[in-house]
Structure 1
Amino acid sequence: MNNSGIVLLVRSEKIRYLFWGILTTVFYFLSRICLDFIFHIPIISATLSEIVTILFAFFVNKKYVFTKSKKNSLTYQLVTFFTGRIIVALIDIFVTYVTIEKYFSFSISLLRLDEFAYNSFPFNIPFLRDIIGSPYALNNIIWIVVIQISAIIINYLISKYWSFK
């Protein structure tokens, strides 16, 4: 690929969205894990993580991704962006409640997470032990990842075709 192809690729809105979406996901993931350690209540962790991540995401989408969006007012963009993100956040909270809090044993059984040897590698690595060292912890991480992949796709569609059109 020559230099002009690389420049076009970097200037692509989808690539910028993907880059900032990955950073937003990392931001969410780290805040969610930190808040899980602080509160030990998944719903509170998910809710607080969603709030700070929505603020972060609006800023980076407005400034770095949808830079050509001048059609709608800032107020319209804020309201529609936050509405879309709140809908996705509510989905996150609902899925968290169902798969991590209320019916985690069903999810663990369905995914067969109780069959892993949690006293062996990589589960016994000190840093990872707290994050994935039990069926409940691994279930938590799996669902956080599934939720975030879904959120990236849904949020792009909302931002592209509603907020920053």
Structure 2
Amino acid sequence: MKRYIKKFFDNEILSYLFFGVATTVVSVGTRMIIFYLTQQELTATALGNITGILFAFFTNDTIVFKQKRENWFGRLIKFSGARFFTFLLDMALTFIFVTKFPHIIGQFVGNDINIINTIEIGFAQVTIVVLNYLFSKLFVFKNK
């Protein structure tokens, strides 16, 4: 069993997907809890993203892309910069589909803001996971 687990995590794409799901759970979980407590969708989106970015960096740096400990701060800066783009995309999607025009999704779900927010989160996360892998692979975690 230990051999299969090691083999799984030695596969970069499978490992990335596993920790991508874990990052999504951390990010979305944080976001939904904050939204539930505050009903502030942009604050919830921002804090969920920050939590997800930090979790993703440490798992991607050490486990997925197996980087050496040196220069980790430089990678954190690059990683944060790349994630900042997808953060802005996430904020824009939240603003458009939840804050400004909730009726676009709402017309299909009885205008329930919690369901609208959840649907938008799902759509945004799929887009963001793909973009984040590409940015990480091509610009941040380059093995020399």
Runs of 4+ in 1 over 3 A off after TM superposition: 3-10
Please identify the structure whose Cα radius of gyration is greater.
1
Alignment of 1:1-165 (within 5 A): 8-67=7-66, 69-70=67-68, 73-109=71-107, 112-114=108-110, 135-165=112-142
* Higher RCO (C-alpha 8 Å, min separation 6): 1
Cα 1:93–1:56 shift into 2, 3 Å: same
Structure 1, unmatched stretches of 5+, are 115-133
State the 1:6 CA deviation: 7.2
Structure 2, unmatched stretches of 5+, are none
Alignment partners' CA distance in 2, 1:33 and 1:7: 33
State the 1:146 CA deviation: 1.0
Supply the RMSD in Å over aligned alpha carbons: 2.0
Q: What one-letter code is carried by the residue in structure 1 that aligns with 2:45?
A: A
Identity of aligned residues (%): 29
Matched residue pairs, number?
140
**Cα displacement string for residues 23-67 of structure 1 (whole angstroms, at most 9, x for unaligned residues):** 010111110111002221100100111111111111111111110
State the 1:106 CA deviation: 2.5
Q: TM-score scaled to structure 2, two decimals?
A: 0.88
SS in 2 for 1:113: coil
Q: TM-score scaled to structure 1, two decimals?
A: 0.77
The answer to whether the 8 A contact 2:46-2:91 is kept is: yes
Alignment partners' CA distance in 2, 1:84 and 1:160: 11
